[in-house]
Amino acid sequence: MTDKAPMLVLLKSLLRSHAKETVCILALQIAQALLSLYLPTINASIIDVGVLNADTGYIYQRFEIMIVLSVLQFVSLVAASILGTKVALSVGRELRGRVFAHIMSFSHREMTVFGAPTLISRSTGDVQQIVEFLTFLFTVIINAPIMFVGGVLMACLQDIRLSFVILAVLPMLIGISVIFIARLVPLYREQQKGADDVNGALRDQISGVRVVKAFVKEGHEQRQFSGINQRLLDLSVHIGRLTTLLAPLFMFIVNATTVAILWFGGFLAETHGLPIGKIIAFITYMSFILTAVLLASLVFIMLPQADVSAERFAEVMRVESHVRQPRKPVHLASGQGMGMVEFDHVSFSYAPDDPSVAPVLKDISFTVRPGSTTAIIGSTGCGKSTLVSLIPRLTDPTTGTIRLGGHDIKELDAADIHRACGFVPQKAFLFSGSLRSNLLYANPMASEQDMWKALRIADAERFIAEDKAGLDIRVAQGGSNFSGGQRQRLAIARAIVHDPAIYVFDDSFSALDYATDRRVREGLSEVADEAAVIIVAQRVASIMHADQIIVMDNGEVADMGTHEQLLKHCDVYQQIVASQPREEFRHRASPSSSSIPLAKQGA
């Protein structure tokens, strides 16, 4: 889509799929317009022939024709309105479907560029703005040019001399419309920006309400929001005054024109014998013309609003995800080394085309084997989460290769990669609905026994069983009706239900206390004996028994090895160990401790 008239470009692409319906709407609107234009002529003949000659038979005959034509006009108008509304709503459904499918293809990089709030706004509010414009276009606007051209022609056919009134009034109407459009279009753009400002302020203040209360800044935030809200109100009132002035002004012109036609028509009737019926018909046609001009002015007012929405929609659709499904994907059979993960000189940058932006990951190489546990540790911001997000292809490396089962993951079918990986993100997220639906989301074929087993392993069985709803316990949006630790355990249970060949835990135990952390890790040993386990952690005590510990520092691998090896020769690891409580290390290292998770006791 180009930047020029995005709404018109969008219309052209969308209406191709609704070509038959559009042609039907156009035909129905033309039919009802022609019928509407013919009715005043019949009415004129009733007055000039039937009434003046007291010919009741002629009047009844013409009256019957008018009734038939009025019914046909009504049916055509209703059918055009119903079909037009249906097409507009169908287009809205298609747009929402297209943008949703496109957003689902985005990698983490594209999601970071836009952000979730604006993507939601563009998928709902902007699409709704386009639908409203299309509805108005199909049901009202499409009729305006037909009525304008037909009204002018039919008015001229009544009497060419009265048509001079049209020549006098039309420039005035067009001039008023141009003035209003020139004033309103910039104001509508400001109003849309003001609405975005209000939404942004609401989003920030509602999301950060705890911080606001903690710093006792309620009054400051209220004053700030009141200022933004007042600016939008002032702008909306100004627009309201202009738009409410437009209709009365047009009505005044219509009434003044009617008086002028009656005066001039009366003069022509008296001096040149102009029939009264033609004067009445001319007044009707004049109202058609003026209404068409008014509707045309509304188009030019509504179009910029829809244009902005279409451009915002097009901006999303123009962005292509850099994570793409291969044209001929390689399918990975179950058990075909699916737990083997190899990083081969992998680097990653959020701005690969900008050399001034430093890469987040630099030349990373390591191997994860089935049945082993690999832990990743390092300071905040060193690239741990970015590193593990490359495994399920949430994003792709800038350079280097990641292999799964010996195959480059860029060559594998996306479904096979997702089937092989059980990913538990840093921020545990649950979908609204029930716990059952969340667990089945990972594996639709899981039995109730499988789900309870997963909950037991994740140390979540007790607090779920205490609720009488059990697996059907309600889950609020994002899982907000559970604590942080409960959400993490339920997210871990969902990964266990998935039964993957690779478990990836991105700091997924951070909200758990030490005792719960130990129980969860002990439970995971039941299902992860043959799986590859990758853990991002902050606590050294939690991963000290891992088969392999990778120490990250500023996007690079500072060193890797076992806990004992790293303690001897890795300065970064020694600093991390020194910064954490000694008591926990002694407890974890105790021979009698049963808290050696996901690794062999003799490791």
pLDDT at 287: 82
Tens digits of residue pLDDT in 111-164: 877 777 778 878 888 898 889 888 888 888 888 888 888 888 888 888 788 888
Residue 387's pLDDT band, with cuts at 50, 70 and 90, is: very high
The pLDDT value given to residue 6: 74
pLDDT surpasses 70 at 586: no
**Domains of the chain with CATH codes:** 7-318 (1.20.1560.10), 341-589 (3.40.50.300)
- pLDDT at residue 549, rounded to an integer: 93
Angle (CA) 310-21-305 rounded to 5° is: 20
What is the per-residue pLDDT for 156?
82
- Give the model's confidence band at 602: pLDDT under 50 very low, under 70 low, under 90 confident, else very high: very low
pLDDT for 27-38, tens place per residue?
Answer: 998 898 888 888
Q: Under a CB-based contact definition with an 8 Å cutoff, are residues 34 and 288 in contact?
A: no
pLDDT mean over 311-327: 83
Higher pLDDT, 239 or 452: 452
Is 376's pLDDT higher than 90? yes
Tell me: pLDDT of 334 over 70.
Answer: no
Question: What pLDDT was estimated at residue 51?
Answer: 76
Residue 1 has pLDDT above 60, yes or no: no
Considering the chain, what is the average pLDDT of its residues?
Answer: 83
Least confident of 187-196, 339-348, 406-415: 187-196
> Which residues neighbour 222 within 8 Å (Cβ) at sequence distance 6 or greater?
none
The full length of the chain comes to: 603
Mean pLDDT of 471-500: 89
- Predicted confidence (pLDDT) at residue 595 exceeds the cutoff of 50: no
Tens-place pLDDT, residues 54-69: 788 888 888 888 899 9
Mind listing the pLDDT tens digit for each residue in 94-124? 899 989 988 888 877 778 777 777 788 788 8
Share of the chain above pLDDT 90, in %: 17
Nearest-Å Rg of the Cα atoms of the chain is 36
Q: What is the pLDDT of residue 598?
A: 43
Q: Is 377 helix (H, G, I), strand (E, B) or coil?
A: strand
Mean pLDDT of 299-327: 81
Residue 509: pLDDT over 50: yes
Beta strands in 501-553 (DSSP E): 502-506, 532-536, 548-553
Indicate whether 395 pLDDT > 90: no
Strand residues in 407-531 grouped as ranges (E): 407-408, 421-424, 433-434, 474-475, 502-506
Tell me how far apart the alpha carbons of residues 103 and 98 are, in angstroms, rounded to a whole number.
9
More confident site: 75 or 540: 75
Q: What is the pLDDT of residue 584?
A: 56
Query: Mean of the pLDDT values across residues 224-250?
Result: 85
Pair type for strands 502-506 and 532-536: parallel
Lowest mean pLDDT among 74-83, 127-136, 290-299, 400-409: 290-299
Average pLDDT over residues 434-451: 91
Separation of alpha carbons 195 and 508, rounded Å? 38
